[in-house]
Amino acid sequence: MFVPQRTILWKPITTYEPAEFWPTGSFALDWCFGGGIPKGRITLVHGPESTGKTTLSLVMCKAAVNRGGYVAYVDAEHAIDPRWAKRFGLDFDGSQHFFLIQPANAEDALNAILKMVKLPHPEDKSRGLFDVIVLDSVASLVTKAQLAGEVGDHVVAGVARAMTQFLANVAKPLAESDTSLVLINQERDNIGGGTYASPIRLPGGKAQRYYATIRAAMRSQGEVFTNKDGEIIARTFRLSTKKNKVSEPNRVAEVKVYLDTGVPDYFEEMASIGKELGVFTRENGSRIKGSAAWYFNRDEGMVKVGVGAKQVANALDEDRELAAEVESAIRYAISQMNEIKVDPITLLESDDEDDEAAEEAWAEGSGAAGLVELS
């Protein structure tokens, strides 16, 4: 088939803007995601019940609030406990820029998110008001039609249709606002899915998988830590990335969270991830293997930090200036892992008249889809 040479609209690509991230509050999560929660994009976190999905989402919210950001928590389950959130230092009175929304139905929840994404930031009109919006959870969304019916009434794929329309409408406003949308979902058994089908399914349709920049799966909780009285003081949560458009997928992170404060084991994570990324090395700069002294390269040269992860974590806790330097080195190392080189693409240029005609044909073929109120 003959293609007119002067109708190609693309221009040579010579630069690439890397993805930007909001820190999650956990070094292990930041490394797993490739730097944190990607700005202006959708992150999907799913898993069975009681695997720590809400706990980790509150960790992310606390990190955003601590840096002065605005956070909206859409509690579709109507199940979040204010006392539990307060352990994480989160209050619902709005004084901390942390807002709780408990919608009556799926349409109210999704339309509320659409409106919040478009709210301007009071100090920077070029971006949106909220750093992070959490929807907890997609599985608990119920449409107006379902609520109006009786038990046993069959409403076909109501939430899936609403989610598909919502995700198509919210993708561009998210990118323009730098707001990160975190979707929490629960896994269900895929009964009757066939021999070769996935044994699990996610309520709310397939669109959430396609639109998500990161899809992370949580599994059973790991190690439990107790005090001398036998009371549980911390848990380890395991998470793996099944999809990642901004970094390497299939990474696994274990996040130890203290349940009385909602704070990850910050310095222990710093030591572990620092070793993994080569921020800590032997004195000669080689990777650490076995029992050896850990060194860090400061301005004055290689400095011994400790022997073993526990001793290094304690040293970082005692020397906050050193900890700040190590944190910067870790974040730089993570960002370097995401760097790609883009070679210029040579494409034929087009005349202005051809550009205008092609744009008109494109508009006639696809049309412009505006934001539609879900009903």
Instruction: Write the CATH number of the domain with boundaries 21-264.
Output: 3.40.50.300
Nearest of 340, 182, 341, 169 to residue 246 by alpha carbon: 340
Please compute the mean of the pLDDT values over residues 66-90 and round it to a whole number.
91
- The pLDDT, as a whole number, for residue 363 is 43
User: Is the model's pLDDT at 364 over the cut of 70?
Assistant: no
Question: What are the pLDDT digits (tens) for 11-66?
Answer: 666 666 788 999 999 999 999 999 999 999 999 999 999 899 999 999 999 999 99
Specify the CATH number for 273-336; select among 3.40.190.80, 3.30.250.10, 3.40.50.970, 3.50.50.60: 3.30.250.10
**CA torsion sign, 119 to 210 to 254 to 28?**
negative
Q: Provide the residue ranges of all domains of the chain, joining segments of one domain with +.
A: 21-264, 273-336
Question: What are the pLDDT digits (tens) for 269-286?
Answer: 999 999 999 999 999 999
pTM for this structure?
0.84
Q: Which of 89-103, 190-204, 341-355 has the lowest mean pLDDT?
A: 341-355
Strand (E) positions, 180-300?
A: 180-186, 188-189, 200-201, 214-218, 224-226, 232-244, 252-258, 263-264, 280-281, 293-298
User: In which element (H, E) is residue 22 found?
Assistant: strand 21-22
Question: What are the pLDDT digits (tens) for 128-187?
Answer: 999 999 999 999 999 999 898 766 666 768 999 999 999 999 999 999 999 999 999 999
- The pLDDT, as a whole number, for residue 340 is 55
What's the number of CA atoms in the CB half-sphere (13 Å) around residue 245?
17
